[in-house]
Amino acid sequence: MGQAQAQTCLPLRWLRWTFYRDSYLDMNELDFWRHLRAYVLFLMGTYLLPDTSRCEIHLRFLPLLEDLGLFSTYSLGGAVLAHLYRELAEATKPKRANIAGCIHLLQIWCWERLHVGRPTLHVPQQVSLDGLSVGYRWNQQFIRQLPAGSLSSYRDELDGLLDSQVTWEPYTTEIMSQVPDICLSGRIIWLARVPLVAWTRVEWHLPDRVLRQFGFVPTIDVHPMEPKFVRVDGRGKSDTDWLVYYLHYIGLWEDRTAHITEGTPLGDDTKHLIQHYLQWFRSWATLYMLRPTSTPPTTYYPRSPSERYLRQYLLDTQRAVHPLLSSNDFSNAENVIRRIGELALDVCREIHIPDDHFTEEVHTGFTEDVQAGFTESISTPVFVNPYSMGAGPSSFEDSGPGHDYFSYPTQQHSPARVEDDILPVTVQVEQHLLHDRPVRPPQHYTPGSDALPHRGRRRR
């Protein structure tokens, strides 16, 4: 139980079984501080700075806890980010099967901004934090459905992701006013372009490449990270004095307030700058993770959440119209048209149709009687809970750019018609992405993906 795989590591379960107590009130001061050091070491090895084993922690952290007052002055948040950035880079290597680092932080970051892989909540999330962290809003393990999907399906979802489906700034003013002061104490250096030091590792923090997350217009004037930057770690360097080795980077970090990135705040008059940035980004970036193929698919398959809604609308419309065409009896045509209109409105509530003349074209050709009956059938407000959708890789609908799911827990009213003023301009530019995306033949295990080619069974 107390033996680690390496002599320089300490088993985490030994820390837990040795120092765990139901109550620490009856301890003397010396034993209390010993248990506190063991608890901090346990948190570092399990949540903050875990390795790929997630069952042991290196002994190099133990001397740092000798003086807890000095330890409290260290930038542990910067070390966590540096460790996570390095592990994300290592995880992209083909031979790497595991990932280390603070995965909880990465998971919450994704859930707050992307619908891919986000769990479906059966009740609205709590907006009132009462001094707790923002991640507490996802602490609903007994009433939460986790999406089911393979690696290929998640990659397919990310390939079909649109700009309007990303919540760029999930932390509203209301939420920021409720978090503890410690969460905002270093807010001034969130935009600092400096190296982050995590003992034997150094990674650059580059906010100038993700300015949109901070409420600024992204820019194409991207400066290189560092021409001679080389990633090193502590393997084979047990006698290295890292304070001397990283003296240059530590100096930049100490002078972090002099390297704050500035930008142009987002607004209605800056949308053309975003489109200019997107055109520049698409000219050189790799937009798709799945490999394209030269062989077209024999059947259609949905490639993103919006395409699935459109495909379902087409199938439901065919089922509604088929009885009329097969029997040539149009006495029930009014009910069929009303049904098709209801299906169209259901689709509009789930996705944004990138067509400014959608409303006019829908009602063109309707007689006054049919329009009256159609309007009457949908004039009653429909209460829709955005958290009641089925679980899957895409658990949340597209509610437009910048929409915050937590400031508006439930959708109180669904419009009876799509107004021009609620159609996002960015979706019009994104429309071509669903058509220009390379086609791929469907596979038997994951529709719309050939990232994992089929392998035959090996002979024993």
Chain segment 372-410, per-residue pLDDT in tens: 444 444 444 343 333 333 333 333 344 444 444 334 343
Mean predicted confidence (pLDDT) in 319-343: 86
pLDDT at position 239 is: 87
pLDDT at position 244 is: 93
How open is the CA angle 417-342-309, to the nearest 5 degrees? 95
Q: Report pLDDT digits (tens) over 154-178.
A: 887 888 888 888 999 988 888 888 8
Buried/exposed code over 295-310 (b: 16+ C-beta within 10 A; e: otherwise)? eeeeeebbbbbbbbbb
Give the H/E segment covering residue 11: strand 9-11
Q: 120 by DSSP, 3-state: which?
A: strand
Of 245-259, 290-304, 374-388, the range with the highest mean pLDDT is 245-259
pLDDT at position 287 is: 82
Q: Which residue has the higher pLDDT, 154 or 47?
A: 47
Are the CB atoms for 36 and 29 separated by under 8 Å?
A: no
Count of CB atoms situated within 10 Å of the CB of 175: 17
pLDDT at position 206 is: 94
pLDDT at position 28 is: 92
pLDDT band at 23 (very low <50, low <70, confident <90, very high): confident
Give the type of residue at 445. Y
pLDDT band at 76 (very low <50, low <70, confident <90, very high): very high
Q: Identify the CA nearest to 445 among candidates 301, 236, 270.
A: 301
Q: Report pLDDT digits (tens) over 421-451.
A: 433 444 444 444 444 544 444 333 333 333 3
Distances (CA, A) of 29 to 16, 26, 32, 33, 409: 20, 10, 5, 6, 47
The mean of the pLDDT values for the chain is: 75
The token pair at 4 is 């680690």
Block residue for tokens 């047990």: 238
What are the counts of helices (DSSP H) followed by strands (DSSP E) for the chain?
Answer: 16, 6
Largest CA distance in the chain: 91
**CA gap 29, 43 in Å, rounded:** 21
Are the CB atoms for 434 and 302 separated by under 8 Å?
A: no
Task: Give phi and psi for 418, each to the nearest 5.
Answer: -80, 115
Residue 37 has pLDDT above 90, yes or no: yes
Residue 5 has pLDDT above 70, yes or no: no
pLDDT at position 126 is: 64
Are the CB atoms for 41 and 65 separated by under 8 Å?
A: yes
Query: Which distant-in-sequence residues (6+ apart) come within 8 Å of 33 by Cβ?
Result: 68
Mean predicted confidence (pLDDT) in 236-258: 92
pLDDT band at 223 (very low <50, low <70, confident <90, very high): confident
Predicted model pTM: 0.66
pLDDT at position 300 is: 60
The token pair at 203 is 């990674």
Length of the chain: 460
Are the CB atoms for 110 and 395 separated by under 8 Å?
A: no
pLDDT at position 299 is: 63
Residue percentage of the chain with pLDDT more than 70? 68
Q: 204 by DSSP, 3-state: which?
A: strand
Task: Give phi and psi for 156, each to the nearest 5.
Answer: -65, -40
Q: Report pLDDT digits (tens) over 305-316.
A: 667 778 888 889
Buried/exposed code over 320-343 (b: 16+ C-beta within 10 A; e: otherwise)? beeeeeeeeeeeeeeebbbbbbeb
Of 28-42, 114-128, 279-293, the range with the highest mean pLDDT is 28-42
Q: Which residue has the higher pLDDT, 331 or 379?
A: 331
